[in-house]
Amino acid sequence: MPRTTMLISQFEQHFNCPPEQLFHAPGRVNLIGEHTDYNDGFVLPAAINFGTDIAAKARADRNINVLAIDCNSETNSFSLDKIEFSQQQMWVNYIRGTLQALMQSYPNISGADLVVSGNVPQGTGLSSSASFEIALLKTFATLNNIPLDGVKAALMGQSAENNFVGCNCGIMDQLISSMGKQGHAMLLDCRSLTFEYAVIPKGMSLVIVNSNVKRGLVDSEYNTRREQCEAAAKHFNKPALRDVTLEELEAEQANLPPLIYKRAKHIVTENTRTKLALKALNVNDMVTMSQLMAQSHLSMKNDFDITTSQIDFLVDITAQVLGDKGGVRMTGGGFGGCIVALTPDHLVEQVRNTIDTHYYAKTGLQADVYVCLASQGAFSN
């Protein structure tokens, strides 16, 4: 059964009436530019054809009633006039935090009945939570006739994470989920929040491989990386690492704690690679793209310390298949999760076979391979 049909039928069963409208926001994969967003730097993500769907109907009062199909069909109800953190149901906090952020600008929104379903694999670095936040914002903006542009929605989603959920994430995931373009990646300047699209070259597939490494301590490690980057920027008396050049960094190496130097080196070099990757993508230069993605992975492994042995192995075996015809690296926040391989269509099956043959034998884990399409950002239908 198509997901939208399933959503409508679940809504009818649960609320005894049809939904008013359906909404969708995608997850994302990041081609290059990792952990650069909260350093005011550059990222190059694409929205993907996995996301969060919501069936909704506005209410005349201020109550929110939700059925979350993919959270064991759990339900939750609360009033917009009393938004509190839930210790019992973590998924509820994404709704509460997002609506609290929206109500800072639009306090008088009406309540709604909602059925939610998502197919972004959770906790794998493909932004299931950002897609949830952006789908909610699309829903409530539409139901309340609020002219919310995609950048403002992204900032509200990020505020929900930073100020309610407790993750100090940057802006990348929410912005690509709201503003993605079919068939394109997006070069986003995370300081000015301006962006340009780059076409994914014809004949190239976005292959995402989920390592199924259970991610532990992600939030604390993530927040630590952010603090280390901020300490480095402070050392240079600059607002963010975006403002530090490689020459300045090298000249100060002896005066920086070694760990802070390594963290800063990843960010400074990753910003340069990301801008070069945009150029390479624009002229379909896969040789350069392949080199940049390989360097990015090594930098995440050696300087930022966010990869795992299983992820490194997946990248190595995939790189052997691709040669310089495509690029591969870990994608997302790290400590497990997924790799992304920009893969010529004719090599997709070979990548899949290589992973099937070697990954389980080496790690005892089964990998999942998703061949994705670069997709449109949030929409209603």
- Reading the block at residue 108, the tokens are 């008088």
x/- string (CB under 6 A) for ligand GAF, residues 308-347? Answer: ------------------------xx--------------
Question: Looking at beta carbons only, is 38 or 313 nearer to ligand GAF?
Answer: 38
In whole angstroms, how close is the CB of 235 to ligand GAF at the nearest point? Answer: 21
Choices 28-36, 105-113, 276-284, 337-345; region in contact with ligand GAF by CB under 6 A: 28-36
Phi, psi of 328 (to 5 degrees): -145, 140
Which residue's CB is nearer to ligand GAF, number 142 or number 223?
A: 223
CB of 33 to ligand GAF, least distance (A): 7
For residue 165, the minimal CB distance to ligand GAF (Å) is 11
Calpha distance 300→32 (Å, rounded): 11
- Tell me which residue of 4, 178, 19 sits closest to 114, measured CA to CA: 19
Query: Within 10 A of 196 (CB to CB), how many other CB atoms are there?
Result: 12
CB burial of 251-282 (b: ≥16 within 10 Å; e: otherwise) equals: ebeeebeeebbbbbbbbbbbbebbbbbbebbe
Q: Is 53 a catalytic residue?
A: no
Other residues' Cβ atoms within 10 Å of the Cβ of residue 37 = 22
Question: 98-122: buried (b, 16+ CB within 10 Å) or exposed (e) per residue?
Answer: bbbbbbeeeeebebbbbbbbbebbe
How far is residue 232's CA from residue 250's CA, in Å, rounded to a whole number? 13
Residues of the binding site: 34-37, 129, 161, 222
Dihedral, 134, 135, 138, 139 alpha carbons, nearest 10? -140
40 is a site residue for ligand GAF (CB under 6 A): no
**Span from 165-173, 292-300, 319-327, 343-351 in contact with ligand GAF (CB under 6 A):** 165-173
> Is residue 37 near ligand GAF by the rule CB under 6 A?
yes
Type of residue at 102: L
Q: Which of residues 102-131 bind ligand GAF (CB under 6 A)?
A: 127
Q: Which of 173, 316, 356, 368 is catalytic?
A: 173
172 binds ligand GAF (CB under 6 A): yes
CB 52 within 8 A of CB 28: no
Applying the rule CB under 6 A, the residues between 292 and 311 that interact with ligand GAF are: none
**Stretches 29-37, 46-54, 98-106, 247-255: which one binds ligand GAF (CB under 6 A)?**
29-37
Based on CB atoms, which residue is closest to ligand GAF, 113 or 173?
173
Task: Give the closest residue to 347 by CA, choosing from 368, 365, 366, 325.
Answer: 325
Token representation of residue 249: 């960094």
| Sole binder of ligand GAF in the list 137, 160, 169, 207 (CB under 6 A) | 169
- 23, 25, 29, 35: residue in contact with ligand GAF (rule CB under 6 A): 35
Helix residue ranges per DSSP H, 283-364: 286-302, 309-322, 348-363
Binding residues for substrate: 34-37, 222
Binding segment for ligand GAF (CB under 6 A), chosen from 58-66, 99-107, 164-172, 200-208, is: 164-172
Closest to ligand GAF by CB, 113 vs 161, is 161
Q: If we measure between CA atoms, which residue out of 289, 290, 271 comes closest to residue 280? A: 289
Among 170, 327, 336, 377, binds ligand GAF (CB under 6 A): 170
Q: Pick the piece of the chain touching ligand GAF (CB under 6 A) from 12-20, 27-35, 58-66, 357-365.
A: 27-35
Sign of the dihedral defined by the CA atoms of residues 255, 259, 262, 266, in that order: negative
Interaction of residue 173 with ligand GAF, rule CB under 6 A: yes
What is the nearest approach in angstroms of ligand GAF to the Cβ of residue 29? Answer: 11
CA atoms 196, 127, 304, 323: torsion sign: negative
For ligand GAF (CB under 6 A), the number of binding residues is: 12
Among 38, 42, 197, 313, binds ligand GAF (CB under 6 A): 38
The kind and range of the H/E element at 115 are strand 112-118
Q: Which residues bind ligand GAF (CB under 6 A)?
A: 30, 34-35, 37-38, 127, 169-170, 172-173, 332-333
The residues annotated with a catalytic role in the active site are 173
